[in-house]
């Protein structure tokens, strides 16, 4: 999810890995129905909502609203085994409750009842590999993968439309697949539009958003905001803001060229030393990392203070938020969630607009 381009390859049998609403109009064509529940008017103040393994013991959405969030992203994962070419979604086994259609529908229902908007964001998980480096060695393997991915994504496009979700993300971080198979993606977008009538985006990686060929066919330029900024253990807000400036200018220019607003489909920081740099590297050996809540909070502060007042920046979805803190299998005190940490107060300050 946060990986850069790699410099080496792992050759596997079938594929290659390198390791309500108001009307508004911005200068870059911000979609006309923008949520204004939060005082930070017009922004998508989002949380990536982690699917729980079991039904909610209590409604988690009031707590979401307490943060000032106005959107959630729902992520029903499918899987791809290394060395194979078939996208798998096992509804009757292998999927957590919150990823199955019934759990997804219930999550959306509760969010809408709370006045929250929803982005459906189906993603493919490849154990110990990154989707950005997915690359097959034969046309037959590509066709199998594309057919099974299409089946998966169209199923959730139909669910998203019937449930009235407000946005649909067509894919996440398929760098190589998109650059090598652009016609497939253009055709897939057309098929999605025949099913789903809401807003569309794609979640590009932080290092290839300007190489995506189909932004004109979508409503938002979506990308993960995991840019490496500052290496220090506890980076100062001012240093982080300074590091953001050239990135912000590039994004602004590109947004104007494409005539589309920029959306951070993901953004986040581990609560450990040096989280202003390459978080995907810090994930390895996370159990031994030094906890640093202030570093995480500073990174949030710098991001929001840099982008929140830019009209071409639509907002974003924080990675990640656990309902009732259930479902976490790792080290929540070090993980991306800001829940119960200094970063949660920073999040609330910006999402609530005070």
Q: At what angle do helices 139-162 and 101-113 cross, to 10 degrees?
A: 40
**Total structural domains within the chain:** 1
Instruction: Tell me the C-alpha distance between 238 and 109, whole Å.
Output: 41
**What are the backbone angles phi and psi of residue 208, rounded to the nearest 5°?**
-140, 15
Whether 12 maps to a domain, the answer reads no
* Residues whose CB falls within 8 Å of the CB of residue 159, separated by 6 or more in sequence, listed in order: 101, 104, 105, 120
Whether 26 maps to a domain, the answer reads no
- Residue 136 lies in domain: 41-352
Q: Is 46 helix (H, G, I), strand (E, B) or coil?
A: strand
115: region left, alpha or beta (phi > 0 left; psi from -120 to 50 alpha): left
Whether 253 maps to a domain, the answer reads yes
Taking the complete model, does pTM exceed 0.85, yes or no?
Answer: yes
Q: How many helices (H) and strands (E) does the chain have?
A: 9, 15
Instruction: Tell me the C-alpha distance between 307 and 302, whole Å.
Output: 9
Per-residue pLDDT tens digits of the chain, which is 354 residues long: 555 433 323 233 333 333 333 333 333 444 433 334 444 668 999 999 999 999 999 999 999 999 999 999 999 999 999 999 999 998 877 799 999 999 999 999 999 999 999 999 999 999 989 999 999 999 999 999 999 999 999 999 999 999 999 999 999 999 999 999 999 999 999 999 999 999 999 999 999 999 999 999 999 999 999 999 999 999 999 999 999 999 999 999 999 999 999 999 999 999 999 999 999 999 999 999 999 999 999 999 999 999 999 999 999 999 999 997 755 567 899 999 999 999 999 999 999 985
Whether 302 maps to a domain, the answer reads yes
Instruction: Tell me the C-alpha distance between 51 and 65, whole Å.
Output: 17
Residues in the chain: 354
Whether 334 maps to a domain, the answer reads yes
CATH of the domain at 214: 3.20.20.80
Whether 36 maps to a domain, the answer reads no
Residue 18, strand partner residues: 9
Q: Is 153 helix (H, G, I), strand (E, B) or coil?
A: helix
């Amino acid at each position: 999810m946060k990986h850069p381009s790699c410099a080496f390859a792992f050759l596997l049998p079938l594929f290659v890995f390198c390791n309500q609403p108001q009307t508004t109009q911005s200068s870059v064509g911000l979609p006309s129905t923008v949520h204004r529940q939060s005082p930070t008017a017009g922004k998508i103040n989002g949380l990536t909502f982690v699917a729980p393994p079991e039904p909610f013991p209590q409604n988690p959405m009031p707590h979401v609203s307490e943060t000032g969030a106005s959107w959630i992203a729902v992520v029903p994962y499918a899987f791809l085994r290394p060395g194979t070419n078939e996208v798998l979604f096992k509804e009757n086994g292998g999927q957590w409750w919150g990823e199955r259609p019934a759990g997804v529908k219930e999550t959306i229902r509760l969010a809408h009842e709370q006045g929250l908007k929803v982005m459906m964001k189906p993603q493919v998980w490849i154990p110990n590999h990154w989707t950005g480096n997915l690359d097959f060695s034969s046309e037959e393997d590509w066709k199998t993968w594309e057919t099974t991915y299409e089946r998966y994504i169209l199923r959730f496009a139909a669910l998203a439309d019937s449930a009235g979700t407000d946005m649909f993300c067509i894919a996440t971080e398929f760098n190589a697949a998109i650059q090598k198979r652009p016609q497939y993606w253009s055709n897939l977008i057309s098929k999605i539009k025949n099913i789903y009538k809401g807003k569309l985006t794609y979640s590009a990686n932080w290092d290839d958003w300007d190489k995506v060929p189909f932004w004109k066919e979508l409503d938002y330029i979506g990308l993960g905001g995991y840019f490496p900024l500052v290496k220090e253990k506890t980076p100062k807000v001012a240093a982080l803001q300074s590091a953001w400036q050239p990135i912000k200018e590039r994004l602004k220019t590109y947004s104007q060229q494409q005539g589309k607003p920029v959306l951070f489909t993901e953004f986040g920081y581990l609560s450990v030393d040096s989280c202003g740099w390459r978080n995907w590297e810090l994930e390895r050996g996370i159990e031994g990392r030094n906890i640093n809540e202030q570093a995480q909070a500073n990174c949030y502060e710098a991001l929001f203070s840099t982008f929140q007042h830019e009209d071409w920046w639509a907002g974003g979805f924080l990675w990640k938020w656990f309902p009732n803190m259930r479902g976490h299998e790792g080290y929540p005190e070090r993980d991306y969630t800001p829940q119960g940490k200094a970063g949660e107060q920073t999040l609330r300050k910006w999402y609530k607009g005070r």
